[in-house]
């Protein structure tokens, strides 16, 4: 079996690498981290002009009509460069609209997203240990729409977004709801995260919203699954970039007249990193393959969910292990906040707790497996 990417995906990865190489070097990233929005708008427009913001959006809405695997290739390159653009969240929000939104919602939102002219933020997390699958934010019916009340935590990169896709629970189940950020009943407070992004605390007080799909359907579950896969793709890039920085540093830095990379203990550390990154990449692609079909039956949906949870566990646990090891082998240089590998450490740490950490993924996976065994 051939596990290599096909020629189209390789070409796409090469294009993404070329853009990130040219517009996301360390000096540029450092400058964006202290900017007003913390988002590199120049890089965002470059991605839009290259067609990389509309990869999964249908051609009729200005996109390329490719699968989620194409997006994963670009997300990996973003992670490798720790480039400060809200690619994963905007892409997952757009994919949710594409899969579950009405024709009117798709026509209104997707062309602007593909062109980089507008963006949808993604609000899936809450405080108080709320499960992402059972949000505490309440949705009550209001004519043809809904009113949302609750607080969403750590909404990534709200600056510049016009709409936010919010998870909430209605009387007939949890679902996704589209809210205009300028609407009444919407308040935003921003704070700096581990990665220097400005995340938002979104307070909704009877904010008007429209459903994306129907509450109680698969919209929220699929969006959470896609979010986990997207984060895994970014984490593969983050850890691969960190490992390459460590390998370069250890081949040049000497101790006792020998390169540090020649010491067996250090070699074992990087070998462990290599194995972990391979595991992350394999499980991420397995999750992509399992999620490829929109007409999945019940058993296939559960298989897709299991694969996504396995990828999420590797993304969280192994990803965190790798960025810890690569920082450690840099010695004192690794804790210098201005040094490149420290930025990879910060990204890896934040990703490992986004949409729940490794323990939460493992617990959910265990429950799913036990339910599957009982039914069989």
Residue 155 pLDDT greater than 90, yes or no: yes
The answer to whether 299 and 293 are in contact (CB under 8 A) is: no
Question: Could you tell me the CA-to-CA distances from 340 to 13, 156, 244 in Å, in that order?
Answer: 22, 22, 11
Read off the pLDDT band of 292 (50, 70, 90). low
Distance CA 281, CA 66 (A): 20
Residue 340 is predicted with a pLDDT of 87
Digit-coded pLDDT (tens) for 64-110: 999 999 999 999 999 999 999 999 999 999 999 999 999 999 999 99
Digit-coded pLDDT (tens) for 163-199: 999 999 999 999 999 999 999 999 999 999 999 999 9
CA 70 to chain centroid, in Å, comes to 14
- What residues contact 220, with CB distance under 8 A and at least 6 apart? 133, 167, 174, 175, 176
Among 73, 64, 139, smallest CA distance to 94 is for 64
Average pLDDT rounded to a whole number, residues 266-275 = 88
Digit-coded pLDDT (tens) for 330-349: 787 777 777 889 999 999 99
Average pLDDT rounded to a whole number, residues 282-301 = 79
Residue 3 pLDDT greater than 70, yes or no: no
Backbone φ and ψ of 142, nearest 5°: -150, 85
The answer to whether 188 and 201 are in contact (CB under 8 A) is: yes
Residue 129 is predicted with a pLDDT of 77
Instruction: Identify the three-state secondary structure at position 164.
Output: strand
Average pLDDT rounded to a whole number, residues 271-279 = 94
Residue 331 is predicted with a pLDDT of 80
The answer to whether 155 and 84 are in contact (CB under 8 A) is: no
Residue 300 is predicted with a pLDDT of 78
Residue 293 pLDDT greater than 60, yes or no: no
State the SS3 of 283-336: HHHHHHHHCCCCCCCHHHHHHHHHHHHHHHHHHHHHHHHHHHHHHHCCHHHHHC
Residue 12 pLDDT greater than 70, yes or no: yes
Residue 373 pLDDT greater than 70, yes or no: no
Residue 358 is predicted with a pLDDT of 92
Residue 261 is predicted with a pLDDT of 59
pTM, full prediction: 0.94
Percent of the chain with pLDDT over 70: 93
Range from 58-62, 115-119, 130-134, 142-146 carrying the lowest mean pLDDT:
130-134
Domains detected in the chain: 7-118 (1.10.540.10), 121-212 (2.40.110.10), 219-375 (1.20.140.10)
The conformational region for residue 237 under phi > 0 = left, psi -120 to 50 = alpha, else beta, is alpha
Question: Could you tell me the CA-to-CA distances from 247 to 235, 270, 272, 329, 349 in Å, in that order?
Answer: 18, 8, 13, 9, 20
Residue 376 is predicted with a pLDDT of 53
């Amino acid at each position: 079996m051939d596990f290599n990417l096909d020629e189209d995906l390789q070409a796409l990865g090469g294009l993404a690498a070329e853009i990130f190489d040219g517009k996301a070097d360390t000096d540029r990233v450092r400058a964006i981290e202290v900017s007003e929005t913390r988002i590199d708008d120049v890089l965002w427009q470059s991605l839009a002009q290259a067609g990389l913001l509309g990869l999964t959006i249908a051609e009729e809405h200005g996109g390329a009509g490719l699968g989620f695997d194409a997006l994963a290739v670009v997300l990996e390159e973003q992670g490798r460069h720790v480039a400060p653009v809200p690619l994963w969240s905007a892409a997952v929000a757009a994919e949710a609209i594409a899969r579950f939104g009405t024709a009117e919602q798709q026509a209104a939102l997707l062309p602007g997203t593909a062109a980089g002219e507008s963006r949808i933020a993604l609000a899936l997390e809450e405080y108080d240990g709320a499960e992402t699958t059972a949000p505490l934010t309440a949705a009550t019916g209001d004519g043809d729409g809904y009113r949302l009340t609750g607080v969403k935590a750590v909404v990534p990169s709200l600056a510049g977004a016009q709409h936010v896709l919010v998870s909430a629970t209605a009387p007939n189940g949890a679902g996704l709801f589209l809210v205009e950020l300028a609407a009444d009943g919407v308040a935003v407070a921003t704070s700096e995260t581990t990665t220097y992004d400005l995340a938002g605390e979104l307070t909704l007080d009877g904010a008007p919203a429209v459903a994306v799909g129907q509450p109680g359907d698969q919209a929220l579950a699929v969006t959470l699954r896609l979010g986990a896969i997207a984060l895994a793709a970014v984490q593969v890039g983050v850890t691969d970039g960190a490992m390459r920085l460590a390998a370069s540093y250890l081949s040049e830095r000497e101790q006792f007249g020998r390169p540090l990379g020649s010491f067996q203990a250090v070699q074992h550390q990087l070998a462990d990193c290599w194995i972990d990154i391979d595991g992350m990449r394999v499980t991420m692609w397995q999750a992509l393959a399992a999620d490829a079909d929109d007409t999945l039956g019940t058993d296939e949906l559960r298989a897709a969910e299991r694969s996504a949870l396995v990828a999420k566990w590797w993304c969280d646990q192994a990803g965190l292990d790798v960025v810890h090891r690569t920082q450690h082998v840099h010695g004192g240089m690794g804790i210098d906040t201005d040094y490149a590998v420290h930025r990879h450490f910060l990204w890896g740490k934040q990703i490992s707790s986004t949409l729940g950490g490794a323990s939460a993924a493992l617990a959910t996976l265990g429950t799913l497996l036990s339910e599957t065994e009982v039914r069989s």
